[in-house]
Amino acid sequence: MKYAIKTIDLTKKYKDFLAVNGLNLKVDNKSIFGFLGPNGAGKTTTIKMLTCLIQPTSGTAEVAGYDIKKSPNEVRQKIGMVPQLVSLYKDLTARENVELCADYYGMSEDLKDTRIDELLELVDIKYAENKQIGQMSGGQKQKVSVAASLIHRPDILFLDEPTIGLDPTTKRILWDLIEELNENGHTIILCSHDMYEVEKLCDTVGIINQGQLAAFDTPQELKDQAIDQKKRGSGVNSILRELESESTLNKDPSFDELKNVIAKDEIEGKVDSKEISIMMSNLDEKLIDTIRSLPYVLKVTKDHSERITVSIYNVEDSINKLIATIIENNGKITSIHTKDPSLEDVFMAVTSKKNKGVE
């Protein structure tokens, strides 16, 4: 089986509202898939259809090789689910809740006890196994919810924002667990708004917006595409217009030379800009003005008494020249790094594009 999940024009309508709109998505078997999208984009609705909690209005999906409409019982045997809102019995203890799940899947008494012990240890909640859910903290409940979802060793585990509200240590326990499960051959579907979490864990990412798939690729590839788009987006005319509007820049003797470089690079599709964060122990307004007056510098923002962000045309050796200028002016650089597009930038670009003109 190549795909753990394959949706075919999967659609969910609530009255006239299309919560999920003809979704075509393929998730590789044994991968960790990050499912992203703004609030209300349709992630939970999609997951509810894939886990056979609700029926699609039209279209369908194959989960673990089974059709969700034709074989929901087979699908249920293959999947585990940690819902967005913890759904455990408040009056029962942690152990009793996991036991109920084991009974649902018809596990034998012997196997049940050993497996529950293992799972409660695995998610680090064994110490509170006899505590009632109603008396547990959010993070503790989440751990029980994860243990319950794993009782029947599902091939595919759906996690709908599982680390929301967890402290950094508990979050890491869950991340380690996700990686461990995946190494043991489980496919993970992870809904999350935490870009760090997604980059750290996921092999592939899908961004859904207004019920439709807006982007799908590896996190690295999505970021690389954002760099390419930025390059294409910064045409030579807009660059020159901006340069010429700065009267001080026109006085710079190297301006014509720079114009030629930008024009040449534009033909070759190489023009782009970059953000560089620089820390200096002796940063002052004079130095900032000097940097600002450099012809290839677009913008300088002071973030902190010792740090600036410089937006620069990334042409020829403009970054080298910037650093040389700082050193010539006795600037003492203590740290420097470039800011490439992050997954969050990709998310913003992909989801804001589609939102334009709606509402």
* Binding residues vs Mg ion (CB under 5 A): 43-44, 84
CA atoms within 13 A on the CB side of 117: 6
The answer to the question of residue 14 lying near ligand ATP (CB under 6 A) is yes
Q: 37 is in the binding site of which of ligand ATP, Mg ion, none (Cβ under 5 to 8 A by kind)?
A: ligand ATP
- Give DSSP secondary structure letters for 178-232: HHHHHHTT-EEEEE-S-HHHHHHH-SEEEEEETTEEEEEE-HHHHHHHHHHHHHH
CB nearer to ligand ATP: give 45 or 145. Answer: 45
| Phi, psi of 204, deg, nearest 5 | -135, 150
Q: Which tokens go with 138?
A: 């959010």
Nearest approach in angstroms of CB 16 to ligand ATP is: 11
How far apart are the C-alpha atoms of 70 and 31, rounded to whole Å? 25
Closer to ligand ATP by Cβ: residue 57 or 77: 57
Q: Judged by CB, which is closer to ligand ATP: 57, or 325?
A: 57
Residues 206-245 that bind ligand ATP (CB under 6 A): none
Q: Which two three-digit tokens encode residue 141? A: 């409940």
- Closest to ligand ATP by CB, 42 vs 219, is 42
Q: Name the minimum Å distance from CB 176 to ligand ATP.
A: 24
Number of residues that bind ligand ATP (CB under 6 A): 11
> Dihedral sign, CA of 94, 96, 100, 105?
positive
Given the complex with ligand ATP, which of 32 and 41 has the nearer CB atom?
A: 41
- Strands 79-82 and 156-160 come out as parallel
Using only C-alpha atoms, the chain has a radius of gyration, in whole angstroms, of 26
Residue with tokens 């869950």: 174
| Residues in 35-64 at the binding interface with ligand ATP, rule: CB under 6 A | 37, 39-45
Smallest separation (angstroms) from ligand ATP to the CB of 275: 29
Burial group, residue 342, by CB count within 10 angstroms (0-12, 13-18, 19+): middle
- From ligand ATP, Mg ion, none, interface partner of 39 (C-beta below 5 to 8 A by class): ligand ATP
Comparing CB distances to ligand ATP, the nearer of 44 and 234 is: 44
Q: Which is nearer to Mg ion, 44 or 142 (CB)?
A: 44
Token pair in block for residue 296? 């290839």
Q: How far apart (Å, rounded) are the C-alpha atoms in residues 279 and 294?
A: 18
245 binds, among ligand ATP, Mg ion, none (CB under 5 to 8 A by kind): none
Q: How far is the CB of 40 from ligand ATP (least distance, A)?
A: 4
Q: Which is nearer to ligand ATP, 42 or 80 (CB)?
A: 42
Q: Map the footprint of ligand ATP across residues 299-338, applying CB under 6 A.
A: none
| φ, ψ (nearest 5 deg) of residue 14 | -110, 105
Angle at 17 between CA 15 and CA 23, to 5 degrees: 120
Please state, in angstroms and rounded to a whole number, the distance separating the CA atoms of residues 347 and 339. 16
Among ligand ATP, Mg ion, none, the one that 45 touches (CB under a kind-dependent 5 to 8 A) is ligand ATP
Cβ atoms of 149 and 82 closer than 8 Å? yes
Contact track, ligand ATP, 83-122, x by CB under 6 A: -x--------------------------------------
In the stretch 68-87, what mask flags binding to ligand ATP with x, by CB under 6 A?
Answer: ----------------x---
What amino acid is encoded at 248 in this protein?
T
Residues that bind ligand ATP (CB under 6 A): 14, 19, 37, 39-45, 84
